[in-house]
Amino acid sequence: MPIENLIQTIAWITTQASLVAIGLFALSYAIGSLLKGAPVPFKDIKQFGSGLMNDAIRAAMELALWTSISSLISWIAVVISSAA
């Protein structure tokens, strides 16, 4: 297997993992928003929704950092493999 195919496979897997993570972030934020805004008299449910929204935002920031780092590594790998 040539190195270019390996790099493309790793980039594809990274992209798919990022897409799944973005979907989970959006789902968590939406559920948190629904729980926070739900017309129920239970304060614990509203606090759980707020915490879920905060966790989703934190996860989105970590995802952005992870995606940036993996893109940089992928770019460096392409540059190295094309130079060889």
- Please give the structure tokens belonging to residue 81: 């493999």
Per-residue pLDDT of the chain (84 residues; tens, 9 = 90+): 677 788 778 888 888 888 899 999 999 999 999 999 989 888 999 999 999 999 999 999 999 998 888 888 878 877 887 776
| Contact present, 51 and 28 (Cβ < 8 Å) | no
SS (H, E, C) the chain: CCHHHHHHHHHHHHHHHHHHHHHHHHHHHHHHHHHHCCCCCCHHHHHHHHHHHHHHHHHHHHHHHHHHHHHHHHHHHHHHHHHC
State the Cα–Cα distance between residues 83 and 3, nearest whole angstrom.
Answer: 12
- Please give the structure tokens belonging to residue 56: 């989703």
